[in-house]
Amino acid sequence: MRKITWKSVFAMILSVSILMGLSVPIMAEDKFDIGTPQVFVAGDGVYEVENNKENRLSIQVKNKGNAIADNVVVRAKSEEAMPPFKLNFSDGENVGSLGVNGTKTLKLYVNMNGSPDKASYPITLSYTYKDPLGGSYSGSDTIYIKLKGFDREPSYLFDQMKMTPESLSPGTGGTLTGRVKNTGSQIMYQAEVILDKLTTEGISLSGGFSSVQLGTLNIGQEGKFSFPLATSADMAAGNYPVTVKLKYMDEMGKEYEKTQDYYINVGGVSGKASQIIIRNMKEPAGTYGVNQNFPIQFELYNAGQVAAKDIIITAEGLDPSAVVPKSSSVKNVMSLAPGASMPMTFTFAGTNQASSQNYAIQFTVEYTSGGTKVNTFKQYAGVNISNPKKDKEEEGEDDKNKSKPKIIVSKYVCDPLIVMAGEEFDLNLSLMNTHKDKGVKNIKMFLTLAEETSSETEKSGNIFTPVNSSNTYYFDAIPPKGTVDKELRLYVVPNAQPKTYTLTVNFEYEDAEGNEYTAQELLGINVEQVTELNMDEFAMPETVEQYMPVTVSFSYYNTGKVALNNVMFKVEGDVDCSQRSTYVGNMDPGASDYYEVTFTPNTIGEVPVSIVATYEDASGETIEQRRDYVLNVTEPMMPEGEEDGAEPPQNGLTMKNIIIGIGVIVILGMGLFLFIRGQKKDPDGFAESMDFEDEDEELEDDDEDDDDKEGMPL
């Protein structure tokens, strides 16, 4: 009997494994699949939180794959540089394992401890996990925390406003009291009541501060305030407003300022005031020559019931070139008691410019009754001045100029009033002969205007050009005190600078005796240039998801001929925008620039949004250009499946390797089973068929044993 060694068995099994293993992977890969886990964050993705408190959010993590998810780890992170909140999980970040369709609820703590500046913030939830064979996966979802009450303004009510007494008399005092009630659904922080506009109408504080700190007002809570007030002694009867200003902050740290006017009734029955009069005035008698001094004396008397304060007396001649003061022309009196009087003396003299006539001297008195109201009145005195020399000069001048008629432009009207460069306009003139006795004839009129520049060689041509006529106009005659109307049609050159031009109207004419005269009249014509700011066309998306940023960009150009001042772009609408207004400044003609802005819609539905450009032209008028759009804002969609960000296994055993290993084990088992069965049926034949080389080695060993037996002694 031949023996089969373990070496032979091992060789046989190895050979069968190598031969059979080549085809096993393909078969195993087609027939076996252990599944793939797929983790995601379930729910609508929007969670409401409150400011200044710790919020607990229930986050559901679900496995919608067809295999178990092991070692699930979830992390929360905000993309804000300095978020107004802190994040942490109550049970840590390790979720553990999730079975097929398994769900686990996590407690995410959001501690709102800052000053939020927008209604919602995105939070990224990233997760990693493994399948049963060790394959690694990762993904992420985004949820949004929405601040409760961010868009709601705290409401308030001024209640029980009362003035004690109800009506004040001039020069008396009272107390204004009231309450502020928080009628909204948010707490009011740092509430403060301020009293404004106290001195403009003669009502002021009689003591204390002009503001009252109310502190924090909870929902439904009230805060009291009171202010002591006083009225001026010289106030007239009537209702006078004082402004009650309320300042506070909401739970988000946003500041508010509201004002409301309260009217205080001031009666006139009990009021007392001062009354200054001038009495016993002594005017200069006789006639005074040039440089001859003359005094004017009077008494300043207080006929009122209270003292007059801050009295100022000013004396001056109505013709300051003919009569001048020789003493101080202004005198001050600090106070004048009721029933008291004070003597006043002012000295004047006539000048060589005075004619022989009576000149008036004016006395102006200003005073108060101790309040803010200033009372003013005037009184006059007269003096006779004689100056024969001046009289002769005036007579000779009258004779010289008696027969000289003059032509003037008594009225002119531009239609339109502001003339645009490059356009025509009507100029209506009324010409008048100012002489009362003599007429004028053979009248020639022509217009001149040449714009002067800094260089003598750079003078431009006429700014105004007649339309369908020459630049010269003729009139037969104008009678004494007569007028002639003339309508001119003029054109403004397109390159005229925006400013007021002086148009010169020249006259050449004769009187009845044939004497020739010339005259000039100056007219102001306001010219403006058309301003043009062109913006490239840009498109807005018809539909956008809530909280999804929208970017708008376009180029703009100054295509006009004048500079644009204070150019500004701004965004209007119910959207969040980090920079609603962008100040550009001035733009020269032909200049261009680029504008880009990003905003985020917060509300769902149709949201109007406008891009507004404003600038000022050369006259200072503000011009506005608008681009109005309506965004259709929809709810944000939550990603699912592959779109959740799940990634395929990154490393570890693959399904192909697993199936190949199982196939090899099966084949090895089958080979061992066949070998044992063959040994039981025909050990010799099976051994011979397996390995002839081993058989020869065994026979040689038997022969050597026989030889040994023969050599042994019996």
CB of 540 within 8 A of CB of 550? yes
State in Å, rounded, how far the first CA of the chain is from the last one: 26
* Unique residue bearing structure tokens 């196939």: 663
* Unique residue bearing structure tokens 């007396």: 313
User: Which tokens belong to 51?
Assistant: 């400011």
User: Which tokens belong to 290?
Assistant: 């040039």
CB of 617 within 8 A of CB of 564? yes
Instruction: Give the other-Cβ count within 10 Å of 474's Cβ.
Output: 9
What is the DSSP annotation of 381-430? EEEEE--HHHHHHHHHHHHHHTT---EEEEEEEEESSSEETTSEEEEEEE
Cα dihedral angle (597, 598, 601, 602), rounded to 10 degrees?
A: -110
The residues, any chain, with a CB within 8 Å of residue 92's CB and separated by 6 or more, are none
DSSP state of 668: H
* Unique residue bearing structure tokens 């022969």: 703
Look at the pTM and tell me if it is higher than 0.75: no
Q: What distance in Å separates the CA atoms of residue 108 and residue 440, rounded to the nearest whole number?
A: 101
CB of 430 within 8 A of CB of 483? yes
CB of 585 within 8 A of CB of 566? yes
Q: What distance in Å separates the CA atoms of residue 525 and residue 503, rounded to the nearest whole number?
A: 7
Q: Do the strands 287-288 and 188-196 form a parallel or antiparallel pair, or are they unpaired?
A: unpaired
Q: 392 - beta bridge partners?
A: none
The pLDDT, as a whole number, for residue 376 is 92
In 3D space, the residue among 618, 414, 591, 413 whose CA is nearest the CA of residue 496 turns out to be 618
C-alpha count within 13 angstroms, C-beta hemisphere, residue 356: 11
CB of 280 within 8 A of CB of 296? no
Q: Do the strands 622-634 and 543-545 form a parallel or antiparallel pair, or are they unpaired?
A: parallel
Angle between helices 655-681 and 24-31 (to 10 degrees): 120
Q: 324 - beta bridge partners?
A: 349
Q: 350 - beta bridge partners?
A: 290, 323
3-class SS string, 638-660: CCCHHHHCCCCCCCCCCHHHHHH
Task: From residue 68, give the alpha-carbon distance in Å to each of 73, 131, 643.
Answer: 14, 6, 20
* Unique residue bearing structure tokens 């506070």: 248
- Write down all domains in the chain, each with its CATH number in brackets: 6-33+654-700 (no CATH), 39-147 (2.60.40.10), 156-266 (2.60.40.10), 276-396 (2.60.40.10), 403-528 (2.60.40.10), 533-634 (2.60.40.10)
Mean pLDDT by 10 residues, the chain (714 residues): 53 55 43 77 86 87 92 89 82 82 90 79 92 91 84 79 85 90 86 81 81 91 92 75 89 83 71 82 89 93 88 93 92 93 94 89 90 84 88 66 80 87 91 89 86 42 82 91 91 83 90 89 84 87 88 91 89 88 90 91 90 85 90 79 47 60 78 70 53 48 50 42
What is the DSSP annotation of 259-271? EEEEEEEE-SSS-
